[in-house]
Amino acid sequence: MREVAIIGVGMTKFGELWEQSIRDMFAEAALKAMENAKVEKIDALYVGAMSSGLYAYQEHLASLMADYVGQIGVPAVRVESACSSGGQAVRMGYIDVASGMHDIVLVGGVEKMWDVEDGTFVLATASDQEYEAYNGVTFPGLYAMIARAYMERYGLTREELAQVPIKNHKHAVNNPNAQYPFEIDLKTVLNSSMVADPLRLMDCSPITDGAACVILCPLDRAKEFTDKYVKIRGVGAATGPIALHDHKDLTRLEAVNIAAQRAYKMAGVGPEDIDFVEVHDCFSIAEIVVAEELGFFEYGKAGKAIAEGQGTYGGKIVINPSGGLKAKGHPVGATGVAQIIEAYYQLTNQAGKRQVQNARLGMTQNMGGSGGSCVVHILEGM
C-alpha cells in the first residue's frame, strides 16, 4: 500500500446556513479544498452524508456533487454510516489512494439539517428502526441511557458531566468556523431544557448545516502541490451492535476501542503518543466513554479527569480543540471530515489561538449511532 497525504482542506462555516443549499455548501467546501491544494482536476470523489434523502430530499448525491464542482466524468460515490459517514468517506478515499487506483481524491462530507422540521425522526433512523425507534426512543434518549448507567456505576455527578460541554464551548471561542463560539457556564448547562433525562439541551450537539472537504494524494507526490501537508499514519474502523440494548455493557462503546486498536497498530503508536484528539461528542457522555475506549483514561475515570481539566490545554491530552460537535456544530455527514480538517490545521501549525503546541500526532474519532460504527484516524505532521 502507498502512503497517503492530505494536501488541502476546505469547509463552510458551520451553523444555520439559510442561504445555502446542500449543493452550495458542498461546492463551497470542495472548491476551497481544491484551491487550497492547488488541484484543478481530481481522479475520484467520495461524499459522506447520513441522510440527504430525508434531510434534503436528494439521493444520488455523489453524482450531483461531481457535476457541481466541475468534475463530470470522475467516479463518485456516497458513503453512509450514519453519523460516521464523513470519517468513513475519508477512509474510503484513503484506501483508494493507498491501493494505487487513484492519485488525487476529493473526500467530502455534507449535511443540510435545517431544511426539515422533524430532525429528531431522521436522527433516530441511525438506531434500529423496528426495535428501538418504533418504541419511542430518540437518539438523545439512547445516550441518556448510557449516561444513566455510567453515572450509577461510576458515581459521575451531573455537575461533572456538565464540564464536557463547558470545556468544548471554551475551545470553540477560538474557532472561526464554529456554530457557537461562546463560553457557557455550569448554570447554563444545568438550567437548559431537559431533552432526555439526564441529558439537557447543553449536553447535546446542535442541528447544523455544513460541508467539509479534503484532498488526498500519494505521500510521495504531496510536495508537488504544497509544503503544508500531513500524513495519514493509521486508519481503523469497526462495527458494533446496531441496537444499544445489545451492547453487553451499556457504559461501553466497544467499536470505538476496536477501531482505535486497529489505527494504533497500523500507526505503530499508542495513546501516550497522541498530542490531541477530536472525538465524537454528540452528547456529553459520549466524549467521556470514547476517551476511555481510545485508551486515554481508565474505564470509569474519564468523566472526573475531564472535569478536573485533564482534557484541555495543559492537561493530559487536549480533547476537541475545535470545540467538538457540541460547540463547533454537528452537520452529521460533514463532521468526520471536519475533524480531519481540525487535525490538519493543528499539525500544519495553522490553528491560530487554539493551536496545541508542538503537536505532531493527532487523532480523530467519528462514530455512528449508539456505537454501531466507528472510524479512527491517526494523522502525523510532516
Partner 1 sequence: MANSQRYTREIPHRYRLEAQKFPSGFVSLPNRYVDPISGKKEFEKIKLQGFGTILSYTIIHIASDQFKLLTPYAVAIIETDEGARVTAMITDTNFEDLKIGARVEFVLRKIMEEGASGIINYGYKAKVIG
Please report, as ranges, the residues that interact with partner 1 according to CB under 8 A: 117-118, 120-121, 124, 128, 130-138, 140-141, 144-146, 148-149, 152, 193-199, 241, 243-246, 250
Q: What's the burial of 11, exposed, middle or buried (CB within 10 Å: 0-12/13-18/19+)?
A: buried
Neighbours of 149 (CB within 10 A): 17
83, 204, 213, 217: the active-site residue: 83
Nearer to partner 1, 263 or 325 (CB): 325
In DSSP notation, 24-53 reads HHHHHHHHHHHHHHT-S--SEEEEE-S-HH
Taking the CA atoms of residue 323, residue 179, residue 196 and residue 83 in that order, the dihedral angle to the nearest 10 degrees is -80
Nearer to partner 1, 146 or 166 (CB): 146
Q: Are 91 and 237 in contact (CB under 8 A)?
A: yes
The residues, ordered by sequence, that sit 6+ positions from 80 with a Cβ below 8 Å of its Cβ are 48, 49, 50, 51, 88, 333
Nearer to partner 1, 6 or 332 (CB): 332
- Min dist CB 195 to partner 1, Å, is 5
Cell digits of residue 316: 493530559
Neighbours of 301 (CB within 10 A): 16
Nearer to partner 1, 162 or 214 (CB): 162
Active site residue 83: yes
102, 169, 247, 330: the active-site residue: 330
- Min dist CB 201 to partner 1, Å, is 8
- Min dist CB 248 to partner 1, Å, is 9
- Min dist CB 146 to partner 1, Å, is 7
Nearer to partner 1, 148 or 221 (CB): 148
Task: Classify each residue of 182-207 as buried b or exposed e, where b means 16 or more C-beta atoms within 10 Å of its C-beta.
Answer: eebeeebbeebeebbebbbebbbbbb
Active site residue 245: no
Q: Are 127 and 369 in contact (CB under 8 A)?
A: yes
- Min dist CB 104 to partner 1, Å, is 40
Active site residues: 83, 330
